[in-house]
Amino acid sequence: MKEHETLEQRLQEQGISRRSFLKFCAAMATMMALPPSSASAIAATLAKVKRPSVIWLSFQECTGCTESLTRSHSPTLESMIFDMVSLDYHHTLQAASGFAAEQAREDAMKEFHGQYLLLVDGSIPIKDGGVYSTIAGRTNLDMLLEAAQGAAAIVAVGSCAAFGGLPNAQPNPTGAVAVSDLIKNKPIINISGCPPIPAVITGVLAHYLTFGALPALDDQGRPKAFYGETIHDRCYRRPFYDQGKFAKTFDDEGARNGWCLYELGCKGPTTHNACATTKWNGGTSFPIESGHGCIGCSEPKFWDAGSFYAPLPAPTADVSSAAKAAAVIGAVAAVAVGAIDRGKKTQAQQSREKLTVDDLKGE
């Protein structure tokens, strides 16, 4: 396998102009909250770096994350990801199949040992030895542990790889876990979302290539530049929330006036993601602009947090039944203890010895 070319060479081959490359770098700088002047520095570095080898493993997933990346119309920021890296294995996108595909993965792992980036989408089932998801006869668990050995860093793409996602939801029949539950000795970056915003994946890779290190992460292992704020922090409907103006149904007057979707189940206040600023579909809009609340897809356990349409104050468990049962037990206990009290009182009254005149005379 020959040395990978630089991004500059690659872009020339693809007929992508320097102007659009610079635009891309400026956009990356803005997204990562770097000063605008850093765009040219990013461009200079990015153009010269060798495109790193990337091995992309897809485990227990729905391919939505890959779809999210590839459905964007080129040439966009998102599509740049495929120019920035040398994608040596991705079983949905690569032309090779069967043994040839697995061979490509093994070759890349050997050749770029210690240098390649490992991208993972999908969770890893570990119950019963991991038999619930296999590729070419090998369990996902086995494949991940092997591939992680030689990786420089691991990028967990999507909420399944980052937090376990849908397969991990109750009752989690396959024992699905996140990458970070299994790999402890490699830098891992979580790009959560169901699916994640494509531009965020590109941004993280651009950062990695420019600075040679992973960006600053939050306590969930997510890049702070994109997950530092909540949807609610940057939501354009926020003034309505603050005024207490809420849409009550999806087609009432409030909904038509663009009022806050909190009561219709919006989880924006507890969800960290860049949707409200980076937006989707090439910066067109994000779900709240289409009148639907945020479902909290970039947070751990979002599938188990009750209905997407239940507002945040609503309990996630059956409180009414618990309270009813408690009321019955309380009433029974009160009656029982009350009866015992009464019994004691009567007994005390009956066993009271009466003072007689003789008693007084006794002394």
What would the two tokens of residue 267 be? Answer: 């989880």
294 binds, among ligand SF4, another protein, none (CB under 5 to 8 A by kind): ligand SF4
Distance of closest approach, residue 284 Cβ to ligand SF4, in angstroms: 13
Nearer to ligand SF4, 24 or 262 (CB): 262
**118 bridge partner residues:** 55, 154
Q: Which residues bind ligand SF4 (CB under 6 A)?
A: 193, 231-232, 235, 237-238, 241, 260-262, 266, 268-269, 271, 273, 275, 286-288, 293-298
Residue where the block lists tokens 């990015």: 46
Distance CA 300, CA 347 (A): 61
Please choose which of another protein, ligand SF4, none residue 260 contacts, taking the beta carbon within 5 to 8 angstroms, the exact cut-off set by kind: ligand SF4
Cα–Cα nearest to 211, from 22, 2, 49: 49
- Quick check: 148 and 186 in contact, CB under 8 A? yes
Binding of residue 249 to another protein (CB under 8 A): no
Q: Which of 195, 207, 189 is nearest to 158 (CA)?
A: 195
Q: Are 150 and 116 in contact (CB under 8 A)?
A: yes
What residues are paired with 189 via a beta bridge? 155
Residue linked to tokens 């103006």: 245
Give CA–CA dist 227/298, Å, rounded.
9
90 binds, among ligand SF4, another protein, none (CB under 5 to 8 A by kind): none
Beta-bridge partner residues of 191: 157
Between 121 and 263, CB nearer to another protein: 263
Tell whether residue 288 is a contact of another protein (CB under 8 A): no
Spatial separation of the C-alpha atoms in residues 190 and 206, rounded to whole Å: 15
The CB-of-251 to another protein minimum distance in angstroms stands at: 19
Least distance from another protein to the Cβ atom of residue 188, Å: 16
Using CB under 8 A, which of 37, 95, 219, 354 touches another protein? Answer: 219
Stretch that binds another protein, among 27-35, 73-81, 179-187, 239-247 (CB under 8 A): 239-247
Cβ closer to ligand SF4: 158 or 215? 158
Cα–Cα distance, 282 to 280 (Å, whole number): 6
175 vs 293, which CB is nearer to ligand SF4?
Answer: 293
- Touching another protein, residues 316-335 (CB under 8 A): 316-320, 322-327, 329-331, 333-335
Q: How far is the CB of 275 from ligand SF4 (least distance, A)?
A: 3
CB of 223: closest distance to another protein in angstroms? 17
Q: Which is nearer to another protein, 75 or 311 (CB)?
A: 311
Quote the tokens at residue 189: 């970056």
Interface positions, 34-73, toward another protein (CB under 8 A) = none
Integer angstrom CA distances of residue 122 from 29, 30, 313: 29, 29, 31
When asked if residue 100 is in the footprint of another protein (CB under 8 A), the reply is no
Which candidate, 220, 217, 193, places its Cα nearest to that of 294?
Answer: 193
Backbone angles phi, psi at 239, to 5 degrees: -55, -35
Where does this chain bind another protein (CB under 8 A)? 219, 230, 232, 242-244, 246, 262-263, 269-270, 299-302, 304-306, 310-320, 322-327, 329-331, 333-335, 337-338, 341-342
